[in-house]
Structure 1
Amino acid sequence: MNAHISPGDVYDKDLNFLFGSGASFGLLPTLALQIKKADGTAWSLEELATKFERERDTRYIPLFMHYYQGCIHPAQRFQVSGVVGNARSERVVSNYRRFLETVLQILQRRRALEQRCNVFTTNYDGCFPLVADEILRTGNIDFLLNDGARGFRRRYLQARNFNTYLCQVGVFGRHQVSIPQINLLHVHGSVYWAKDGENIRVDYETLPGAGLLTLEQQEKLAVFSAVLEDANATLDDLVAPAFSPAECDAFWASYTRLPIVNPTKWKFHETVFEEHYYQMLRMLSYELEKPNAVLITFGFSFADEHILNLVKRSLSNPHLQVFVCCFDRGVRETLQAKFQGFRNVQCLALDEGVMDFTAFNERVFLLDEAPPVAAGLPPAANDAAVPDVDGAPVGGAA
């Protein structure tokens, strides 16, 4: 069985991607913690936040201070130009660029009016739009990254904008040329969003200020954060920082206005963001119900139960094929258990090492063969095994 995702598998399909924080690993921090439970496994931020909220633990708000300072604020400050000189960060940006260029090459081989796909992401960062902007600046590739926003001085987000399509028409209207289009859907929000009345405004130009924590508060938080990142620590070692009730209240009031999903229950605090979240889930469901739909996930753990259950329901579509790209074989076992019984799911992992973004681009999703041109021909058969990738339908051998 061929576990490799080749262009021949997907070039003529209704193509969808779902990206999680693993894609930006090495450039931006993830939700992962190192502090251990009694059984020796690491707490996740979601688990610990839920526990602290349920028990009204005084460490609840400091935990979100750690989350904001370590995960959200770095995403707010991210600029592509800022990675120059940092080899690890440059590699992540290069991987985003390579992925987008691979997708665009696939789209360019399609028929007119079919040159588009959807990228759903739970990341708050601007890696996709900012890297896409860098590609467009070169002038070598003409495409549209559609983030769902429209406007001039102020751009506003509306779900209906993802249904638009751009094409070029000749001067005398004698020919029409499709522009490859990637729809970018931030299902968990974006650091570039802001509430504007009953609308969501999208702004990539306005840079954030100093953040929600002062330098003095960051210093107070440092010891607390160090324990969360200590693989030898337990909750008994985690002492709440000496923040006053006023400091906690002020931080929480600002934090809850951020346009992102709250990790405790995967909910937005603002109704306008909550409504958009469910619109994006409905759009994902709609796309996965299409004939010949394909979903490729990378860096995504399916911790969002709404998305997990939505994908499971969509798997009743016999024409849907889901490729779940797993960080390692242990993660693959976990995700295979989540999708047990579904024969149209393949969980992929490398035989050796981990599947980071570089491995995904170089060994799993790459243009190692030219797919058929868009002339009504069926995809070329590709039964060659890839020795360093292992995957199987979770419901048993195909």
Structure 2
Amino acid sequence: MSEEYQNKKNDEIVKKIRKLAITKQLNFLIGSGTSYPAIPLMGMIEEKDNEQRNRILAQKVKTVSEQILKDISEIENPISITLDNYAEFLSKILDILNLSNSRQTPRTTNLFTTNYDLFIEKAADQVLHAYRFVFNDGASGYFERKLDSSNYNRTVSYKGLNDNYTNEIPSVTLIKPHGSMNWEKKEDSVLIRSTIVDDPVIVKPTGYEEQETFYNNHFHEMLRVFQLELDKPQSVLFVIGFSFQDNHISKMIKRAIQNPELMIFAFGFADGDRDIYLNNLGFSDDRSNFIILTPKDFSDDYRTKNIGTDGENWYSFTLPNLTSILRGASLEDLSDGKS
């Protein structure tokens, strides 16, 4: 394959991603890989006992989340770098939502994340200083903000001073099926606090079957919202930092693929992730509406060059790389006809 042909193919992939992001109902599935290196991946924890590994990981997430809530100037690297990555990512999503035609597609994006750190919440708080948008974490209330899935399905519009026009305000909806470090159980409810709580509502990677009924109900409710969003027509889901090892979410992805109007792009950190994703899903290859993209599918503008211990170059694809793709989105990406 010639370099010229490969570059053309890479450009077509980037253009297609941008076009889908502008014209379709936009969804993201964000896994633990997006918070690395601030938070280690489960496989990096040198502990054989699963329960102990979960405790170590939860404590690390708690420590990092406490650091995130401090004054930005006090946040240490690599936490500050990871936070900047999330903030830039959110900014580019909002730029895309502002490009979309709200009469055809709601100006809202759904962020589903299995992470229970507070990077997205802190990043949203920063971005709110520069953008006008609604950040919807599913809570209602003032002093006691209670989580309720019915709060997710809403849009907000800005009305002109003379009632002469309405303009839908971009909305970012955050859905955390594994809980969060600032979620607190109170009777049969989940309250979202502005600080880290002592006993947070989180579902650890061991699997929700071992959790008490309260956690089961919450887990199912959040995943039900996830499934309903993927069943909607004219939707696109971008998956990053997630390797499909969570069987419950993977089953939902496989079911959602049956929706012919849904398009899924799963981004692999390294080229070898393609086989890992396929194996975890039980697939032999991509599907027409499920595409796995790894660093080799992109030009150097949209992948990160690394140098291995042996001195050889290798490439990775991370959240900043996806942000770079979204950053270049414009109405010109709609000029070549149908998606």
Tell me the TM-score range normalised by the shorter chain: 0.7 to 0.9
Q: Could you tell me which amino acid in structure 2 is paired with residue 335 of structure 1?
A: Y
Larger Rg: 1
SS in 1 for 2:44: strand
Aligned equivalent of 1:81: 71
Percentage of matched positions with identical amino acids:
28
Q: Distance in 2 between matches of 1:142 and 1:65?
A: 38
SS in 1 for 2:181: coil
CA distances 1:362-390 after superposition (whole Å, capped 9, x unpaired): 3xx32324125xxxxx933399xxxxxxx
TM-score in terms of structure 2 length = 0.82
Contact kept? 1:7, 1:371, Cα under 8 Å: no
After TM superposition, list the pairs within 5 Å mapping 1:155-166 onto structure 2: 155-166=145-156
After TM superposition, list the pairs within 5 Å mapping 1:257-336 onto structure 2: 258-267=200-209, 269-336=211-278
1:19 aligns with 2:30: yes
Aligned equivalent of 2:327: 367
Q: Distance in 1 between matches of 2:64 and 2:173?
A: 24
> 1:177 deviation in Å?
1.7
CA distances 1:31-81 after superposition (whole Å, capped 9, x unpaired): 12365xxxxxxx8x7xx52xxxxxxxxxx4x44442333334433443263
> 1:82 deviation in Å?
5.1
After TM superposition, list the pairs within 5 Å mapping 1:1-398 onto structure 2: 1=9, 2-4=12-14, 6-33=17-44, 35=46, 48-49=49-50, 60=51, 62-79=52-69, 81=71, 84=74, 86-112=76-102, 114-136=106-128, 138=129, 140-204=130-194, 206-208=195-197, 258-267=200-209, 269-337=211-279, 338=281, 339-341=283-285, 342-351=287-296, 352-362=314-324, 365-371=325-331, 379-381=334-336
SS in 2 for 1:6: helix
Q: Distance in 2 between matches of 1:333 and 1:382?
A: 33
CA distances 1:157-187 after superposition (whole Å, capped 9, x unpaired): 0000001211121234221121100110011
Contact kept? 2:139, 2:148, Cα under 8 Å: yes
Aligned equivalent of 1:394: none
> 1:106 deviation in Å?
0.7
Contact kept? 1:195, 1:272, Cα under 8 Å: no
Structure number with higher relative contact order (C-alpha < 8 Å, ≥ 6 residues apart): 1
1:20/1:64 CA distance change after superposition, 3 Å: closer
> 1:270 deviation in Å?
4.2
> 1:189 deviation in Å?
0.4
TM-score in terms of structure 1 length = 0.70
Q: Which runs of 5+ in 1 are unaligned?
A: 36-42, 50-59, 210-256, 373-377, 384-398
1:131/1:279 CA distance change after superposition, 3 Å: same
SS in 2 for 1:347: strand
Q: Distance in 1 between matches of 2:337 and 2:241?
A: 26
Q: Distance in 1 between matches of 2:63 and 2:212?
A: 19
